[in-house]
Amino acid sequence: MQNQLIFNRQLIQKYDTAGPRYTSYPTALEINDSFTQADFIKHAALSNKGGGPLSLYFHLPFCDTVCFYCGCNKIITKNRAHTAPYLANLYKELALKAACIDTSRPVTQLHWGGGTPTFISKQQMQELMQKTREHFHLTDDADISIEIDPREASAETIVLLRELGFNRISLGIQDFDPFVQKAVNRIQSEAETLAIIHAARQQQFRSISVDLIYGLPLQTLSSFNTTLDKIIAADPDRISLFNYAHLPELFKSQRQINREQLPSAEQKLSILQLSIIKLTAAGYRYIGMDHFAKPDDELSQAQLQNRLHRNFQGYATHAECDLLGFGISAIGQVGDAYAQNVKTLQEYDALLQQNKLPLMRGLQLTAEDKLRRWIITRLICDFELDTQQVATLSGQPFNTQFAEENSALKAMAKEGLIEIQQHRLRVTAQGRLLVRNICMIFDQYRQSSPQQAFSKTI
Ligand code: SF4
């Protein structure tokens, strides 16, 4: 696959719509209340028969202060005493889920997300990793990653994390501009961010990733240009560049953002265009869906070898893992089912006190869901789709099974987003930024999904 990306403003404006990020298909919106504990146990037993590798996700929800743009499920508190009962429940959940799963299955991926994972104390971090290792078998080469808020970490924290086995970190930066930082209530000095990057490099983390957001209040082309220069100089392995989605009806903290300070849609596109030009000129490859990586980074390599994958945490190099989620709101995938935990501390505590899995809802995928998930994953990861392979998987000719989708695809081909070949769909260089829109053609649920639940595709 060639790494080409063309920014076509006209086309982007034409396809200016809201849509899912497809970290799962069907999306989390389709997960429903009819899924029970017994369903989880049944699917876990079925997945044990396959015996494939596991991925573990831990949601550590506490943060010291609120960032106004945040759409994560977090708990803002200065009181560190909240962490002990939460972790006690997390250990109960570890034991309950380990009892459903064949724990000899190798864990090849583990991630701590949040919230702010390093809000917990160093001793608690040690304890959590120790408990995890008591129940599960982490392979020596497992990808063990953590989200870091540089305001809540020091060089010492990074040393400890490396000792605990972490080998990938992802740093929240968003923007270095002090006015933007003030407008979003995330004051984070360049010095503290760079100190963490330096420490991670010294500790030989396999990959250092940074998160940026465009579309924040008071951002301008010139201010973001300066941020990009600083990021490029810091030389991370991966860069995520997210589009800020202003959805104050859904996310309470966003109501504190002054709408009038937000850049216009035109300005946002210019910022995106500039970012693409600068990052690709600096040697980063566009992986897709907001992600850039150096050519020698594992994500780039996996994409070049058509083995890139996508799961609830975004792009991944490990395909076919079952994902177990721990902590409030954590989502997992076991065999052909998705399962999500309850979202509040109270519900989480109440269920675990009764020794029940803290599940809120789930979804059993149909054969049709799985086929469409495969199609969407391949398009997002490879920018192409082998329609012959789709026919082999489904037992029906592609054009017959997807007749309706075909006419939408033809319209996109006319506009230059895709090329339709005999047995292949290829996303063009100018279609890559709109890959979400292309995937939406194959999303059977998109008509019934409320538009306001999703961010703009660009
Ligand atoms: S962006 Fe991160 S640090 Fe800020 S409130 Fe959200 S979860 Fe907490």
Atom of ligand 1 nearest to the CA of 152: 3
Question: In which domain, by residue range, is 4 found?
Answer: 1-26+366-458
Reported as a single tens digit per residue, the pLDDT across 313-333 is: 889 887 779 999 999 999 999
Do 379 and 270 have their domain in common? Answer: no
For the cut 50, the answer to whether the pLDDT of residue 17 exceeds it is yes
**Phi, psi torsion values for 22, nearest 5 degrees:** 50, 45
CATH number (domain holding residue 429) = 1.10.10.920
Residue 339 counted as domain residue: no
For the cut 90, the answer to whether the pLDDT of residue 228 exceeds it is yes
Q: Hunting for tokens 């063009």 — which residue is that? A: 428
Q: Give the number of domains in the chain.
A: 2
What DSSP assignment string belongs to 195-239?
A: HHHHHHHHTT-SEEEEEEEES-TT--HHHHHHHHHHHHHH--SEE
| Dist. CA 373 → ligand 1 center (Å) | 30
CATH number (domain holding residue 282) = 3.80.30.20
Q: Cβ < 6 Å from ligand 1: which residues? A: 63, 66-67, 70, 72, 74, 114-116, 149, 172
Do 13 and 34 have their domain in common? Answer: no
Tokens standing for 295?
């050519």
- Ligand 1: which residue has its CA nearest to atom 1? 70
Angle at 235 between CA 230 and CA 236, to 5 degrees: 110
Ligand 1 site-directed mutation target among 67, 170, 185, most atoms within 8 Å of CB: 67
Q: Span 172-198, mean pLDDT?
A: 97
Do 32 and 60 have their domain in common? Answer: yes
Residue 291 counted as domain residue: yes
Residue 21 counted as domain residue: yes
Residue 352 counted as domain residue: no
| Dist. CA 61 → ligand 1 center (Å) | 9
d(CA 3, CA 11): 19
d(CA 26, CA 13): 26
Query: Which of 72, 58, 204 has the alpha carbon at shortest distance from 135?
Result: 58
Atom of ligand 1 nearest to the CA of 186: 4
- In residues, how long is the chain? 458
Atom of ligand 1 nearest to the CA of 69: 1
Do 204 and 301 have their domain in common? Answer: yes
Reported as a single tens digit per residue, the pLDDT across 354-381 is: 999 999 999 999 999 999 999 999 999 9
Query: Where a domain ends, among 270, 295, 323?
Result: 323
Report pLDDT for 3: 53
Tell me the pLDDT of the chain averaged across its residues.
94
Reported as a single tens digit per residue, the pLDDT across 128-159 is: 999 999 999 999 999 999 999 999 999 999 99
What DSSP assignment string belongs to 117-158?
A: GGGS-HHHHHHHHHHHHHHSEEEEEEEEEEEE-GGG--HHHH
Ligand 1 site-directed mutation target among 59, 70, 185, 253, most atoms within 8 Å of CB: 70
For the cut 80, the answer to whether the pLDDT of residue 311 exceeds it is yes
pTM of the model: 0.94
Residue 9 counted as domain residue: yes
- Ligand 1: which residue has its CA nearest to atom 2? 115
Do 114 and 255 have their domain in common? Answer: yes
| Dist. CA 182 → ligand 1 center (Å) | 14
| Dist. CA 63 → ligand 1 center (Å) | 6
| Dist. CA 249 → ligand 1 center (Å) | 18
Do 8 and 62 have their domain in common? Answer: no
Residue 329 counted as domain residue: no
3-state secondary structure at position 382? helix
Contact between 61 and 74 under an 8 Å Cβ cutoff? The reply is yes
Do 108 and 239 have their domain in common? Answer: yes
pLDDT range class, residue 82, cuts 50, 70, 90 = very high
Residue 341 counted as domain residue: no
Q: Span 407-435, mean pLDDT?
A: 95
| Dist. CA 93 → ligand 1 center (Å) | 24
Report pLDDT for 234: 97
Report pLDDT for 312: 86
| Dist. CA 254 → ligand 1 center (Å) | 12
Report pLDDT for 453: 60
Do 193 and 300 have their domain in common? Answer: yes
- Ligand 1: which residue has its CA nearest to atom 7? 115
Residue 317 counted as domain residue: yes
Burial of 30: CB neighbours in 10 Å, binned 0-12, 13-18, 19+: middle
Atom of ligand 1 nearest to the CA of 174: 1
| Dist. CA 72 → ligand 1 center (Å) | 7
Do 32 and 19 have their domain in common? Answer: no
Do 287 and 313 have their domain in common? Answer: yes
Do 15 and 48 have their domain in common? Answer: no
- Ligand 1: which residue has its CA nearest to atom 4? 67
**Phi, psi torsion values for 173, nearest 5 degrees:** -120, -55
| Dist. CA 386 → ligand 1 center (Å) | 39
Do 247 and 298 have their domain in common? Answer: yes
